[in-house]
Amino acid sequence: MSDLTIKNLKKGFDGTEIIKGIDLEIKDHEFVVFVGPSGCGKSTLLRLIAGLEEVTSGHIHLDGQDITDVAPAKRNLAMVFQTYALYPHMSVSKNMSFALSLAGADKAEIERKVKEAARILELEHLLERKPKALSGGQRQRVAIGRAIVRHPKVFLFDEPLSNLDAALRVQMRLELARLHKELNATMIYVTHDQVEAMTLADKVVVFNGGRVEQVGSPLELYHHPLNQFVAGFIGTPKMAFLGGSVKAADASGVTVALACGPEYCLPLDGSALKAGDRVTLGVRPEHLQIAAAEHSPFKVRLDVSEHLGADTYCYVRTESGELLTVRAPGDFAGQFGERASLIPDLAHCHLFDADGRTLPKPGASARAA
Amino acid sequence: MLTLKQTRSLRTLVLGSLAWLLALTLFFPIFWMVLTSFKTEVEAFATPPQLFFSPTLENYLHIDSRSDYFHFAWNSLVISFGSTLAGMLLAVPAAYSMAFFETRRTKSTLLWMLSTKMLPPVGVLVPIYLLFKSAGLLDTRLGLVIVYTLINLPIMVWMVYTAFKEIPKDILEAARLDGATTTQEICRVLLPISKGGLASTILLSLILCWNEAFWSLNLTSSAAAPLTALVASYSSPEGLFWAKLSAVSTLACAPILIFGWLCQKQLVRGLSFGAVK
């Protein structure tokens, strides 16, 4: 069992609060990803869990035991750093066995554990090399190996892939996912890359400004973001946001007049809104369809297109100047500057109130609250 | 018009010649000292100076008969190594805390420490002399070890600090997570990684201690006198004997020059720390 519970955790540096009261539960065997823009406190929270920073207030429990004031080495956690943080003067096998030899494990056991980790990570032929003779990906694997040999209760990863090139990052991402299944371990992973978050996580925690914005499975965050920040942060290309105001609203629907012209009636619970309120409509690229200019009142002008083969991401500009991304078929042939119109899939549009909160579906208000 | 290649080789030639000129200028006094040490006193005084003469060892034999060179050399050795060791024992923990647990005052503390090097030593000669007298440290090797340690400490802390600063904090944090105590973290991870910087610090301290003359002349007479005091003893009572003075100076410089030459790679690396990132 390795359940990690964080209760009302706060951390400040020189009077500035970095972590502003976080409550979080991480269950045994879960792969949890902390994601958010830089400076949102996700790395600080990881370091607090590791014990590398002192908590200002609040508690961290591991398996029911309060570890808030326990020394880092005694927490039974292992961390993989962004810079790998390998010991440059030690061979790969010494790097991996350092913790065990400090703990006074016997030689045969150390060797067995190092061999086992080297097998899992395919490092067997590199055990006698020094870190400087390894490639970036190999170093990363040694760093992971150093964590594995300790059989920690929780693995902590601090942006482990951000120093690798794009191709290697994809490969290591797959290896990490495989490793999680193979070790069946609890892992906490910090990244600013939401693609990593979406692909690896059982549970994603979205941070912003030292607070948790939303916790949920990747698809839950994608389809049901609680607010405009999460909606904009999760998904590539980003969700487009269009400003507008409420024309009429009740518990079964909201009629919105967008600043760029068209009016739409969305099947959302608008009981908290009144006519004239400012709202923002959010729509993902795949929920927009490009049509001939006369087909829809939502007039746009085509900007540049990115042809990716299977899909084309076409950027379009509304009459009020907002830039939107539309996912079009791979053979989309629209030309720069051409007039067109958009047909949004209203069932999949999101509406955010003036405070950025997502409006619930009719009858779902209890869930969102 | 010169081609790019010609411009480059011309520049190499000019810069190379300038470097050689500077190096020879710096080396000339040492060369002349060694040369003079093999002359007779008359030849040493001759004008114009003689470049060609029949070398003699009489100056060296004279030194051997007049004073016990190895007594002074042993003192130099003990004092230099003693104070370098003491200095490192103090500088490493100080630099560790300043490099890895930086506070708002760390930078100014470092500058303040370095500023003490700007004080003219003679300004504190009387108080230190009196302190040494009361403590019974006059003309003792321990006394010189203490003074040398303290005067070189700012530079040593600064150099070790610079060496430590180049080490990513992550590595030490990894060691902490791996279960290392502070001592293990320093001895098994930090020191081995920064051995280059530490070696140059040790080397510089040895050289500075070996060559120090002001305090050794003022605080020792015979028992604890190092080689610098031996050199000085050849300058006054019997008038100036250039050849003998050159011989004793050569003997005093030789060990540290050879040592420095053997370790020059380390020294250059250490002194240019942080100069290029």
- For each of the domains in chain A, give its residue range(s) and CATH number, in order of start: 4-232 (3.40.50.300), 237-368 (2.40.50.140)
pLDDT of residue B264: 79
Q: Which residue of B has its CA nearest to A151?
A: B178
Q: Is B82 a domain residue?
A: yes
A 10 A CB-CB count for B2 gives 9
Per-residue confidence at A369, pLDDT binned at 50, 70, 90? very low
User: Exposed/middle/buried for B84, CB within 10 Å: 0-12, 13-18, 19+?
Assistant: buried
Set of chain A residues whose Cβ sits within 8 Å of the Cβ of B176: 52, 72-73
List the helix and strand counts (H, then E) for chain A: 9, 20
pLDDT of residue A137: 87
Per-run averaged pLDDT (10 residues), chain B, 277 residues? 86 94 94 91 81 86 86 94 97 95 92 89 92 94 95 94 92 92 93 89 92 91 89 74 88 89 75 50
Q: Is B81 a domain residue?
A: yes
Q: Is B42 a domain residue?
A: no
For residue B204, the surrounding DSSP H or E stretch is helix B195-211
pLDDT of residue B271: 62
Q: Is B37 a domain residue?
A: no
CB spacing of A73 vs B177 below 8 angstroms: yes
CB spacing of B170 vs A77 below 8 angstroms: no
pLDDT at A282 > cutoff 60: yes
Residues paired with A61 in a beta bridge:
A5, A66
pLDDT of residue B263: 82
**Number of domains observed in the structure of chain B:** 1
Q: Is B206 a domain residue?
A: yes
Per-residue confidence at A313, pLDDT binned at 50, 70, 90? very high
**CB–CB of A161/A172 below 8 Å?**
yes
For residue A19, the surrounding DSSP H or E stretch is strand A16-26
A78 close contact with B: CB closer than 8 A: yes
Distance CA B257, CA A333 (A): 78
Structure tokens, A252? 């079964």
pLDDT of residue A364: 60
Q: What is the pLDDT of residues A194-248, one digit of tens each?
A: 889 999 999 999 999 999 999 999 999 999 999 999 999 999 899 999 999 999 9
pLDDT of residue B127: 94
CB spacing of B193 vs A98 below 8 angstroms: no
Q: Which residue of B has its CA nearest to A51?
A: B177
CB spacing of A103 vs B179 below 8 angstroms: yes
C-alpha pair distances (Å), B103 with each of A77, A99, A299, B109, B168: 28, 29, 58, 10, 17
pLDDT of residue B48: 83
A 10 A CB-CB count for A99 gives 24
List the helix and strand counts (H, then E) for chain B: 15, 0
pLDDT at A267 > cutoff 80: yes
- Residue B171: CATH number of its domain: 1.10.3720.10
Of the candidates B168, B177, B179, which has its C-beta nearest A79's C-beta?
B177
Residue range A150-172: mean pLDDT, rounded:
89
Per-residue confidence at A367, pLDDT binned at 50, 70, 90? very low
Set of chain A residues whose Cβ sits within 8 Å of the Cβ of B168: 83, 85
Q: Is B48 a domain residue?
A: no
Set of chain A residues whose Cβ sits within 8 Å of the Cβ of B174: 79, 81, 85-87, 146
Tell me which residue range forms the domain holding B205. Answer: 61-271
Eight-class DSSP state of B190: I
**3-state DSSP assignment of residue A230:** helix
Q: What is the pLDDT of residues A89-129, one digit of tens each?
A: 999 999 999 999 998 989 999 999 999 999 888 899 999 99
**3-state DSSP assignment of residue A29:** coil
pLDDT of residue B270: 63
B237 close contact with A: CB closer than 8 A: no
Residues paired with A257 in a beta bridge:
A245, A263
CB spacing of B174 vs A103 below 8 angstroms: no
pLDDT of residue A85: 92
Residue range A334-361: mean pLDDT, rounded:
92
Q: Is B178 a domain residue?
A: yes
